[in-house]
Amino acid sequence: MDDQQQRPAQAAPQFEDHLTNELRIALEDFNEVTHVAEWCAKECAYGGPQLAECTRVCEDIAEIAALNEKLIARDSMFGPDLAEAFVHVAREALPEIERHQQRHPHVTETISAITRTIDSCETLLRMGERRQGGRQSEGGQRPQPTDSRSEQLY
């Protein structure tokens, strides 16, 4: 027998193996906000021209959240950058969405999903900063990526 037949087969790493609890929560939150924001955008589109901006904002939120899901799933080194972008866009978008909350109750669920996802993103980003020793004081740049995946946030 050759060496390959004598060695036991090693189990391939599973997708879930690299996920911390915080990453799992963020992944679930991104998935939920993607679907809720898409639904909200469709509802707003039927609501008339006064909801046009809310429609666009919800579409933006949904697309950025979906991209974040993909980056987490493939353990991308750019995940933290897109998580920061999501937090920024979501915070900027909330006032527009909240403006319509009184007259369009479907917006309430969207606001809740966005807020939860912002919270889980910020938790991940804080964990990543602690793991990497915080941001550098000059220019707010991240330390250079390492070859070790365990040092990355995603």
The CATH number of whichever domain residue 42 belongs to comes to 1.20.1270.360
Residue 89, in any domain of the structure: yes
Domain count, the chain: 1
Residue 88, in any domain of the structure: yes
Q: What's the pTM?
A: 0.75
Q: Provide the residue-wise pLDDT of the chain in tens; the chain has 154 residues.
A: 555 555 555 555 555 566 789 999 999 999 999 999 999 999 999 988 999 999 999 999 999 999 999 999 888 999 999 999 999 999 999 999 999 998 888 899 999 999 999 999 999 999 887 776 644 433 444 444 443 443 455 5
Residue 143, in any domain of the structure: no
Q: Cα–Cα distances in Å, from 32 out to 13, 137, 146?
A: 26, 35, 31
